[in-house]
Amino acid sequence: MSTVIRMREELPDDGTAVAVLDGELDASSVGQVAVKLRRMVENRQHRLIVDLTKVTYLDSAGINLLFAVGGEVRARQQELHLVVAPDSPIRRMLVIVGADRSFPVHPSLAEALAS
């Protein structure tokens, strides 16, 4: 598997942090993503949106990261929102592990930002 993952960070002035991931979120890339996600969420943000629409592969390490970061932001009275294409294998996997019951999941970044 490739260790290539790209992450674009956006910090709009509305208290939202947006991370757009592109590539494979797996055991070989989860460490670098974890550091960047945690660095993005400061006390002035009220939510973190992680856009997974361009993620081509997600393994258990990536899923564990989402739950860990979700728990951390929840403990800080913030929210984690996920963006996942409705018919993608990533969406099916997140439904199987219950992420859709733990975090708001949106079909597009525009809808996540509007929520």
User: What domains are defined for the chain?
Assistant: 5-114 (3.30.750.24)
Is the distance from CB of 99 to CB of 67 less than 8 angstroms?
yes
Q: What is the pLDDT of residues 57-101, one digit of tens each?
A: 999 999 999 999 999 999 999 999 999 999 999 999 999 999 999
Mapping DSSP onto H, E and C, the string for 40-95 reads HCCCCCCEEEEEEEEEEEECHHHHHHHHHHHHHHHHCCCEEEEECCCCCHHHHHHH
**pLDDT of res. 15:** 86
Can you give the pTM of this predicted structure? 0.92
pLDDT cut 90: percent of the chain above it: 86
**pLDDT of res. 3:** 58
Cα 59 → chain centroid: 13
pLDDT over 70 (residue 1): no
